[in-house]
């Protein structure tokens, strides 16, 4: 990243999600504290680590009926997390997968488009009537009008060159624009205590392992100023970490059950919402939501 520090090895791990081959080391810069995966697979080979069964690619149906309507009215359909209040404008989602979230943002009056490296997921999004560039952010064309909002849910940790990516997005955006994102938070005990078993480490797909400070510094180098950091209210990282730890200790059946929690039916996560709130308030969910403004 060009800060001049040397890399200090922290620990090594493997692909705990899909079991693909390779051992990868997590290193930390001695100068700025930024953590990253080493070695990083080359961009042209990354598709190997994103098989068709990669969970974020799966279409996620919208909740219907009275419950779905109530969630949308209260903005508990996920839009509150990444969409700031105010008049809608032009929004771009980086890593829009199959387009479910982008459709919810569109329903709130935003003019939306997306970028998605997976051709299969992007085609699913296009069938919903969405404008989606198939390919990485690096190959995406400039939008036809300046952006008011850039959104990314668990995407920026996958970027090979985040500073260049943030600078590109800043060049596409208005001076008053927002950048909002959800990313894993490696400043918590899930990282320091459980290391390679941490669910959101997700080697080697996650190339950077941000803390609030290192993400703010990286965004600043790309032209963005962080104005809000909030720990995400979720049990996904905690349950997934427990699952990985159980599998590593010879309890595969229990481990698989716990690891499946992030993709469990929405009703189960809603029942456990109070515990997720506690994890978020304690700052130990292992995930954070960051809002930044253009500088």
Domain residue ranges in the chain: 7-294
- Please answer whether residues 24 and 204 qualify as being in contact, where contact means their C-beta atoms are separated by less than 8 angstroms: yes
Closest by alpha carbon to 184, among 21, 20, 37? 37
**pLDDT above 60: residue 65:** no
Structure token pair of residue 226: 């962080």
According to DSSP, the β-strands at 35-38 and 208-209 are antiparallel
pLDDT mean over 132-154: 96
CA distances from 96 to 69, 155, 233, 239, 285 (A): 23, 9, 21, 24, 23
pLDDT of residue 57: 62
Q: Which residue has the higher pLDDT, 269 or 67?
A: 269
Q: How many CA atoms lie within 13 A of 102 on its CB side?
A: 31
Residue 234 DSSP class? -
Tell me the C-alpha distance between 104 and 31, whole Å: 41
pLDDT of residue 225: 98
Tell me the C-alpha distance between 185 and 216, whole Å: 12
Residue 258 burial (CB count, 10 A): 21
Tell me the C-alpha distance between 197 and 191, whole Å: 8
Q: First-to-last CA distance in the chain?
A: 20
Structure token pair of residue 88: 């809608």
- Global pTM value: 0.91
Each residue's pLDDT tens digit, 222-246: 999 999 999 999 999 999 999 999 9
Domain 7-294 CATH superfamily? Vaccinia Virus protein VP39 (3.40.50.150)
**pLDDT above 90: residue 59:** no
pLDDT mean over 126-142: 96
Tell me the C-alpha distance between 26 and 5, whole Å: 15
Structure token pair of residue 144: 């036809």
């Amino acid at each position: 990243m060009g800060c001049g520090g040397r890399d200090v090895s922290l620990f090594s791990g493997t692909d705990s999600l899909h079991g693909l081959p390779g051992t990868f080391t997590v290193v930390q810069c001695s100068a700025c504290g930024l953590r990253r995966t080493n070695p990083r697979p080359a961009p042209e080979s990354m598709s190997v680590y994103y098989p068709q069964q990669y969970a974020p690619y799966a279409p996620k149906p919208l909740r219907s009926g009275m419950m779905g309507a109530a969630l949308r009215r209260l903005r508990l359909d996920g839009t509150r997390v990444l969409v700031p209040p105010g008049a809608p404008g032009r929004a771009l989602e980086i890593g829009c997968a199959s387009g479910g979230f982008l459709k919810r943002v569109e329903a709130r009056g935003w003019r939306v488009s997306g970028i998605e490296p997976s051709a299969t997921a992007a085609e699913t999004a296009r069938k919903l009537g969405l404008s989606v560039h198939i390919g990485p952010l690096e190959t995406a064309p400039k939008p036809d009008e300046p952006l008011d909002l850039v959104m990314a849910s668990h995407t920026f940790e996958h970027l090979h060159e985040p500073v260049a990516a943030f600078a590109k997005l800043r060049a596409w955006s208005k001076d008053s624009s927002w950048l909002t994102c959800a990313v894993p938070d490696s400043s918590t005990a899930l990282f320091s205590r459980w290391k390679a078993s941490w669910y959101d480490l997700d080697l080697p797909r996650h190339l950077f392992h941000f803390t609030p400070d290192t993400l703010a510094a990286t965004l600043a180098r790309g032209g963005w100023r962080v104005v809000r950091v909030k720990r995400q209210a979720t049990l996904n990282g905690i349950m997934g970490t427990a699952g990985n730890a159980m599998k590593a200790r010879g309890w595969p059946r229990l481990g698989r059950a716990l690891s499946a929690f992030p993709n469990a039916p929405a009703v189960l996560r809603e029942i456990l919402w109070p515990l997720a709130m506690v994890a978020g308030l304690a700052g130990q969910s292992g995930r954070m939501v960051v809002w930044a403004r253009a500088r």
